[in-house]
A and B are shown apart, each in its own frame.
Chain A
Amino acid sequence: MQALTLKDVRFRYPGMSEWALDIPSLEIQQGEFVTVLGPNGAGKTTLSLLANGLVPKSIKGEFEGSVEVFEHPAPKYTVSQLSTLVGMVFQEPESQLFCMSAEEEVAFGPENLAVPRDEISRRVEWALDLVGLKGLNDRSPFTLSGGQKQRLAIAAALSMKPSMLVLDEPAYALDPMGRIELYSILSDLKAKHGMTVIVMERDAEDLVEYSDRFVLMANGRVTASGPPREMLVDPGALRAAGVSPPQMAEVASLINLRRKAPPLRFLTVDEAFAEITINTHHHSKGASH
């Protein structure tokens, strides 16, 4: 099944001359982990708001085309209804946590959906556990660390039992380990719960290992889309598109420039290690002086 299908979608903010989104076709499969890469102003945020109907329902503008969420036409549903299919996590953790305890934050969605009390209680425990915040039920979000805040925002979306999570630059301001922890939680959600995950980012580095597919955006358009291996091996093209390439891709392309042998194509440290150790047998001898 397709999780998200866009056809001939265009959206323009009021008073703007350019389309903020202009996407003839975009399809995301159920259970896929997709990273949308693009420079500032590419339309990543607008695309994420489109996925749960906030654009154009709440943020009005000129809109055309069709958006389907798990094969339901989005315009027929309210944002509340769509929120049981699509969980949203915004960039800034601070302003999307508004309750006085972690537990209330996670319970808020199901409460609004009039879910019975013991079911809410189960969901709260389940969601807090999934994001690694078990036992912090009574903590005020204000007192949580940056990474914990972002994970709480994810738990608050998860408790509505969505089938897809859309996250707009969720690793913003997190330390390097915090970023990896966050992405591996998302990856687990995909692997263990079949969650469809869409992450908006501008740096491919930390997401290489987790993504099934990268979608490149610029000026409101999707310029390319494909598995990491196809999308990320050309660092020059990525730079030109305004996104940072993964460092391993740079290493590979620099090596390829200097060798006549078949090109190396690695994206992660593990892959690089494997390929380089196989390809440079002679070197290991030469270097062990």
Chain B
Amino acid sequence: MIPRPDADSEDRVIFLRDAKFTYESGVEALKGVTLVIDKGEYLAVVGGNGSGKTTLAKHLNGLLRPTGGQVLVMGVQASTRTVAELARVVGYVFQNPDHQLFCRTVHDEVSFGPANIGLDGPEVKRRADRAIAVMNLSDIRDRPPLSLTLGLRRRVSIASVIAMEPQVLVLDEPTTGLDAREADELMAIIRRLNDEGTTIVLITHEMKLVAEHANRVVVMMDGKVVLDSDTRGAFSDLGLLRRSKLLPPPVTQLAHRLSQIGVSKDILTPQELVFELTRGDDQ
């Protein structure tokens, strides 16, 4: 299930080999991370506050350059490319949409990226229109982004990144500050992007989202990857999770407790658990 770093594959979009990073202040935020991400994956990166998730993500599009080891994007050394070049391949949505939004209309905002990568007018418009449609923003395309609610601002900021049509989309805690409905809508859109072939890297503190959406989980602790597993196996080592400041979703916690009556521990959703529990009843 886990791709082996030494395997050479066409599908490999990102390859970190023993990547290390130390901030100027002396904080060692990455202490040798090896990670392969294949095309079409839906990868969740989880871990406690300060474990290095954002630092890792910023390496994927060259915002940070490793101080040791290597980062390859589409088989090319990221260090030989500018951020602007990498941005066409790896889209990065920042946690706080207000760090991005500055234009007078949603449409201008979404056109900013495509225009920056030097596309011509009609192509910029085509991509902006498409991104606006994908993120369900057509009704508000002429509104000023800064006057929108947080949920909509977040969607505009994602639209402004997917308008560059990257193959990999990195989302840093995209649901913080959203309510249940907004979060559900957003996750459905991300799901669809993934179905259409975009590789998703989701950084989040919400284990329920991870269980429901991701197909692979990377757990970070103290600048290192301490677990890299398919989602089903990700919540099995409770001790490791606890040390990483994480807790499995409640339903998985319950499954662990119920394993003494034969329920399997790798339950991810309420539906799965109830299916297992009531299987006997139907017979």
Do the two chains touch directly in the complex (Cβ atoms below 8 Å apart)?
Answer: yes
* A→B interface (CB under 8 Å): 38-41, 145-147, 172-178, 180, 202-203, 205, 239, 242-244, 246-248, 250-251, 254-255, 258-259, 268-269, 272-273, 276-277, 280, 282-284, 286-289
Are the CB atoms of A172 and B177 closer together than 8 Å? Answer: yes
- Smallest CB separation, B94 vs chain A (Å): 13
- Smallest CB separation, A224 vs chain B (Å): 16
B263 contacts partner chain A, Cβ-Cβ < 8 Å: yes
Are the CB atoms of B181 and A39 closer together than 8 Å? Answer: yes
Q: Report the Cα distance A251→B252, complex, angstroms.
A: 11
Are the CB atoms of B270 and A175 closer together than 8 Å? Answer: no
Residue of B nearest to A256 (CB): B274
- Against A, the Cβ 8 Å flags (1 = close, 0 = not) of B172-192 are 010011111111000000000
Are the CB atoms of A284 and B48 closer together than 8 Å? Answer: no
In this complex, which of B173, B176, B180, B278 has the most chain A Cβ atoms within 10 angstroms of its Cβ?
A: B180
**How extensive is the interface on chain B, given as a class?**
35 or more
Are the CB atoms of B261 and A284 closer together than 8 Å? Answer: yes
Are the CB atoms of A243 and B250 closer together than 8 Å? Answer: no
Question: In the assembled complex, which residues on chain A have CB atoms less than 8 Å from the CB atom of B281?
Answer: 258-259, 283
Extra A-B contacts (13), CB below 8 Å, given A177-B48, A287-B262: A40-B177, A146-B49, A175-B48, A177-B246, A205-B208, A247-B251, A248-B251, A254-B270, A254-B271, A255-B278, A269-B254, A283-B281, A288-B262
Q: A41-B149, A176-B207, A254-B270 are in contact. Are A243 and B245 (CB under 8 A)?
A: no
- Smallest CB separation, A173 vs chain B (Å): 6
Q: Report the Cα distance A242→B261, complex, angstroms.
A: 35
Are the CB atoms of A269 and B182 closer together than 8 Å? Answer: no
Are the CB atoms of A283 and B277 closer together than 8 Å? Answer: yes
Are the CB atoms of A248 and B177 closer together than 8 Å? Answer: no
Are the CB atoms of A273 and B180 closer together than 8 Å? Answer: no
B150 contacts partner chain A, Cβ-Cβ < 8 Å: yes
Are the CB atoms of A247 and B245 closer together than 8 Å? Answer: no
Question: In the assembled complex, which residues on chain B have CB atoms less than 8 Å from the CB atom of A248?
Answer: 250-251, 254
* Contact with A273, one of B149, B242, B257, B271 (Cβ below 8 angstroms): B257
Question: In the assembled complex, which residues on chain B have CB atoms less than 8 Å from the CB atom of A251?
Answer: 251, 254, 270, 273-274
* Contact with B277, one of A177, A242, A255 (Cβ below 8 angstroms): A255
CB within 8 Å of A: which B237-273 residues:
242, 245-247, 249-251, 253-254, 257-258, 261-263, 270-271, 273
Are the CB atoms of A175 and B280 closer together than 8 Å? Answer: no
Are the CB atoms of B247 and A177 closer together than 8 Å? Answer: yes
Are the CB atoms of B50 and A145 closer together than 8 Å? Answer: yes
Question: In the assembled complex, which residues on chain B have CB atoms less than 8 Å from the CB atom of A244?
Answer: 180, 183
- Smallest CB separation, A268 vs chain B (Å): 8
Are the CB atoms of B49 and A174 closer together than 8 Å? Answer: yes
B216 contacts partner chain A, Cβ-Cβ < 8 Å: no
B151 contacts partner chain A, Cβ-Cβ < 8 Å: yes
Ranked nearest first, the 4 interchain pairs of A and B with the lowest CB-CB distance are: A287-B262, A39-B179, A284-B261, A254-B274
In this complex, which of A145, A178, A250 has the most chain B Cβ atoms within 10 angstroms of its Cβ?
A: A250
Question: In the assembled complex, which residues on chain A have CB atoms less than 8 Å from the CB atom of B277?
Answer: 255, 276, 280, 283
Are the CB atoms of B179 and A247 closer together than 8 Å? Answer: no
Question: In the assembled complex, which residues on chain B have CB atoms less than 8 Å from the CB atom of A277?
Answer: 258, 261
Question: In the assembled complex, which residues on chain A have CB atoms less than 8 Å from the CB atom of B254?
Answer: 248, 251, 269, 272-273, 276
Are the CB atoms of B246 and A175 closer together than 8 Å? Answer: yes
* Contact with B179, one of A202, A205, A280, A286 (Cβ below 8 angstroms): A202
Question: In the assembled complex, which residues on chain B have CB atoms less than 8 Å from the CB atom of A173?
Answer: 49, 173, 176, 205
Are the CB atoms of B249 and A247 closer together than 8 Å? Answer: yes
B contacts with A: majority SS? helix
- Smallest CB separation, A52 vs chain B (Å): 23
A contacts with B: majority SS? helix
Question: In the assembled complex, which residues on chain A have CB atoms less than 8 Å from the CB atom of B114?
Answer: none
Are the CB atoms of A205 and B250 closer together than 8 Å? Answer: yes
- Smallest CB separation, A64 vs chain B (Å): 26
B223 contacts partner chain A, Cβ-Cβ < 8 Å: no
* Contact with A176, one of B50, B178, B246 (Cβ below 8 angstroms): B246
B62 contacts partner chain A, Cβ-Cβ < 8 Å: no
B52 contacts partner chain A, Cβ-Cβ < 8 Å: no
B97 contacts partner chain A, Cβ-Cβ < 8 Å: no
Q: Report the Cα distance A29→B277, complex, angstroms.
A: 40
Question: In the assembled complex, which residues on chain A have CB atoms less than 8 Å from the CB atom of B247?
Answer: 176-177, 180
- Against A, the Cβ 8 Å flags (1 = close, 0 = not) of B19-49 are 0000000000000000000000000000111
- Smallest CB separation, B70 vs chain A (Å): 29
Are the CB atoms of B253 and A40 closer together than 8 Å? Answer: no
Are the CB atoms of A247 and B270 closer together than 8 Å? Answer: yes
Residue of B nearest to A180 (CB): B247
Are the CB atoms of A276 and B258 closer together than 8 Å? Answer: yes
* Contact with A178, one of B48, B178, B242, B271 (Cβ below 8 angstroms): B48
Q: Report the Cα distance A288→B262, complex, angstroms.
A: 6
- Smallest CB separation, A243 vs chain B (Å): 6
Q: Report the Cα distance A176→B248, complex, angstroms.
A: 9
- Smallest CB separation, B207 vs chain A (Å): 6
Q: Report the Cα distance A268→B220, complex, angstroms.
A: 27
Residue of A nearest to B271 (CB): A254
Residue of B nearest to A203 (CB): B180
Are the CB atoms of B47 and A175 closer together than 8 Å? Answer: yes
Residue of B nearest to A286 (CB): B280
Q: Report the Cα distance A59→B117, complex, angstroms.
A: 44
